[in-house]
Chain A
């Protein structure tokens, strides 16, 4: 038989509708849920499982009681509502104590201050999060942490101003001393002068200014901080501070300079090799021994420092992975154009390395945020600590699930938004294959 029959098409074919069964939902289900016997079996088992969970959970959650003053009252209402003996959630604990879960023992008439802080923080950070770094807003972003500190803790306005002045001093030294003194001396001075100023001058100066021009708002003690406000203050400060520190450590670990390299490695390995809870105890018990006598360090500040150091060690390793993933050609391309070390890091290497590291960095941040719950062990009232203290009252003794579900949900919302943000950022920074 001849297989190479000549063939010429005389009429082109029209496009037809696909067969009915192959369209839309049915097609999707057949392809994804019932593509084989095993797949169909797993689908059915999963559906049954989900049904079983929801069947138990939903009536309990949706039938919950929102208005009651105590757990026993909750139970009375439940028994009168559902004579069949069914159990329902007692959400009344949330309506009764939500403000404590969110703000701890912060004075209720001052709730506007943390809320204002949150709004201000959002305003300061969102341009950075969504549009890159607009230089004009830098001032605002630089002022925001000090304003936030003042709003949250209150007291004299001069303390944050005086502390901020230390950074201005550092900046001025860096700007004007590097020309006459050379970069090494200038760098050392940039670090030493502000630190000396903070340790020895800042306190008396703030006191004197306050005596001369007393301006301030009602002070709130750290002991009164609690709930999600506490978790957010520690978490956000830790996140904001640990990123730059982690980047510096990663660069240090890559550095050719022996001392810097070894110091970075030692720092990272020591911090990472010890559980966070140990560092937190160190912060609460030991740190004061290392400070000059008379210098009192707020416990919250100490915790923030520890959390920052801890997560910066992780960030450093994640960023180092990103740095290592860059082809050597990128370093050479930057070098061959005459860019110096800092320029090539800032303009070429870090933007790409950080982009590669986004998933790891965000994971670290999510971990850090959840780890703030560990401060409960050193006596700070994070959401978990508050749930304990709510249970300690006779009204709500014995209530667990409702509180934990609420706390879990709040944490999940924050962490999930971070995760979504990181995915969005990755898509935005994607500039085609390399």
Chain B
């Protein structure tokens, strides 16, 4: 296990706000997706309740990214139903834009806008999508930049920040839209170990506040500490899902055992 994982484990986690409710946040049923003739996602059924912290793991190419990108329609699915916050994803652009503004997403490569300052990155969507007045949007942005601990960088450009700082800005940028669900696609895999810790800490704080989170990550320390459910994917299917403790100590499927032995056993 890397240093970062053990650091994340050392932290005392405040579970008082981590409550899973009965309200459905995301409901995926019978979802299939193809790239051309290649069947990437096969019969995905997944219900996410509000307040859940789900970690999705699996070997490279198993379709993890594709799955969470389908949730905010960055990828189109061909069969089945995806309902986010009560709105069904269809081809209607209005629905898609609405869902995207409710669902925050962080990418492996941050995808900050290099021609805008950190503050502008954070205020852009609130101003243009939510029509928030500029002053108010800036206050919100500063609030979240404080939260991710880089308020002093507000006037810099993304190119002047370290990778960890950029990823925290990306998280703050999503939070400025006040999303009810956050998606993370390998947010730490482009980072050096000490930066991984900064970002994981930020994500843990989010979890402590009760955010509904779906994280594709290989940070198993984070999964153990924060997740309430771990999903293992292989070859476009959900192979196994369980609470973290039994998932790691007593995996059922052979594939899961193999994967876990590869990722943990060195």
User: Footprint of B on A, CB under 8 Å?
Assistant: 327, 329-330, 332-340, 343, 347-348, 351-352, 355, 429, 431-434
Residue in contact with A337 in the complex, picked from B109, B110, B125, CB distance below 8 Å: B125
A8 to B93, CA, bound (A): 73
Q: What A residues does B5 contact at CB under 8 A?
A: none
Which residues 157-177 of B have a CB within 8 angstroms of A? 157-160, 173-174, 177
Contacts A338-B125, A432-B159 given; indicate if A352 touches B114 (C-beta within 8 A): yes
> Can you identify 17 A-B contacts, CB atoms within 8 angstroms?
A329-B107, A329-B111, A330-B113, A332-B111, A335-B74, A336-B100, A336-B103, A337-B101, A337-B173, A338-B98, A338-B101, A338-B102, A338-B125, A347-B128, A348-B113, A432-B157, A432-B160
Bound state CA distance, A280 and B105, in angstroms? 52
Residue of B with least CB distance to A433: B159
A sample of 10 more A-B contacts (CB under 8 A), given A337-B174, A431-B115, is A327-B109, A329-B107, A336-B72, A336-B100, A336-B107, A337-B124, A338-B125, A339-B128, A351-B115, A432-B158
CB distance from B127 to the nearest CB of A (A): 10
Closest A residue to B106 by CB, please name it.
A336
Q: From residue B79, how far is it (CB to closest CB) to chain A in Å?
A: 21
What's the Cα separation between A433 and B112 when bound, in Å?
Answer: 12
Which one of A332, A337, A339 has the highest number of Cβ atoms from chain B below 10 Å of its Cβ?
A: A337
Q: Which residue on chain B has the smallest CB distance to residue A338?
A: B101
Is the pair A338, B100 in contact by a Cβ cutoff of 8 Å? Answer: yes
Known: A338-B100, A433-B159. A333 touches B129 (CB 8 A): no
Contact A434/B159 with A336-B100, A429-B115 known, Cβ cut-off 8 Å: yes
- What is the interface residue range for chain B against chain A? 20 to 34
| Chain B residue, CB-CB nearest to A346 | B128
Given contacts A432-B157, A432-B160, contact A339 B113 (CB under 8 A): no
B159:A336 contact, CB within 8 angstroms = no
**A333→B93 contact, CB < 8 A:** no
Cα distance A351–B101 when bound, in Å?
22
> Given the complex, which residues of A lie within 8 Å of B194, measured CB to CB?
none
Is B93 a contact of A340 with CB atoms below 8 Å? Answer: yes
Say yes or no: B72 contacts A431, CB within 8 Å: no
Give the CA-CA distance A333 to B171 in the complex, in Å: 12
In the bound complex, CA of A397 to CA of B110 (Å): 69
A-facing residues in B120-162 (Cβ within 8 Å): 124-125, 128-129, 157-160
Alpha-carbon separation in the docked complex, A432 to B112 (Å):
13
Interchain residue pairs A-B with the least CB separation, the first 4: A338-B101, A432-B159, A333-B111, A337-B125
Given A432-B157, A432-B159, A432-B160, the answer on whether A336 and B115 have CB atoms closer than 8 Å is no
Chain A residues with CB under 8 A of B174: 336-337
Expressed in whole angstroms, the Cα–Cα distance for A352 and B111 within the complex equals: 13
- For window 47-104 of B, CB contacts with A under 8 Å fall at 72, 74, 93, 97-98, 100-104
Chain A-chain B contacts (Cβ-Cβ < 8 Å), number: 75
Residues of A with C-beta under 8 A to B111: 329-330, 332-333, 336
Q: Which residues in B have some Cβ–Cβ distance to A below 8 Å?
A: 72, 74, 93, 97-98, 100-105, 107, 109-115, 124-125, 128-129, 157-160, 173-174, 177
| Chain B proximity of A111: nearest CB distance (Å) | 43
Q: Bound state CA distance, A333 and B108, in angstroms? A: 11
- Which residues on the A side are within 8 Å of B107 (C-beta)? 329, 332-333, 336
A153 to chain B, nearest CB (A): 40
B-side contacts of A334, CB under 8 Å? 113
Q: Min CB distance, A1 to chain B, in Å?
A: 43
B94 nearest in chain A by CB position:
A340
Given contacts A333-B107, A337-B100, contact A347 B124 (CB under 8 A): yes
Cβ B129 vs Cβ A339 within 8 A: yes
Bound CA–CA A429/B159 (angstroms): 13
- Please give, as numbers and ranges, the residues of chain B lying within 8 Å of A352 by CB-CB distance: 113-115
Do B115 and A338 have beta carbons less than 8 Å apart?
no
- Cβ-neighbour of A338 out of B97, B114, B158, B159 (below 8 A): B97
Q: In the complex, what distance in Å separates the CA atom of A366 from the CA atom of B112? A: 34
Q: What residues on B are CB-neighbors of A351 within 8 Å?
A: 115
Known: A329-B109, A337-B100, A432-B159. A343 touches B74 (CB 8 A): no
Give the CA-CA distance A355 to B101 in the complex, in Å.
Answer: 28
A347 to B125, CA, bound (A): 10
CB-defined contacts of A339 to chain B, threshold 8 Å: 97, 124-125, 128-129
Q: Does the CB pair A431–B159 fall under 8 Å? A: yes
- Residue contact B128 to A343, C-beta cutoff 8 Å: yes
Asked if B159 and A340 sit within 8 Å, CB to CB, the answer is no
Residue of A nearest to B183 (CB): A336
> Given A347-B128, A431-B159, A432-B157, are A337 and B177 neighbors across the interface (CB < 8 Å)?
yes
Cα A339 to Cα B110 in complex, Å, equals 17
Q: A329-B107, A336-B105 are in contact. Are A355 and B115 (CB under 8 A)?
A: yes
Chain B: which residue is nearest A334 at the CB level?
A: B113
Contacts of B114 in A (CB 8 A): 352, 431-432, 434
Residues on B with beta carbons closer than 8 Å to the beta carbon of A347: 124, 128
Contact of A333 (CB < 8 Å), options: B113, B115, B128, B177: B113
Least Cβ–Cβ distance between B90 and chain A, in angstroms: 16
Query: Which A residues touch B98, using CB under 8 A?
Result: 338
Return A332 CB to nearest CB of chain B, in Å.
Answer: 6
Specify which of B100, B157, B173 is in contact with A431 (CB 8 Å cutoff).
B157
Q: Which residues of B contact A434 (CB under 8 A)?
A: 114, 158-159
Smallest CB separation, B190 vs chain A (Å): 11
Nearest CB of chain B from residue A294's CB, rounded to whole Å: 44
A101 to B127, CA, bound (A): 52
- Distance A434 CA – B160 CA, assembled complex (angstroms): 9
Q: Which residues of A contact B97 (CB under 8 A)?
A: 338-340
Write the nearest CB–CB distance from A182 to chain B, whole angstroms: 12
Question: Chain A contacts of B159 at CB under 8 A?
Answer: 431-434
Residues of A within 8 A of B177 (CB): 337-338
Nearest opposing residue in chain B for A341, CB measure: B93
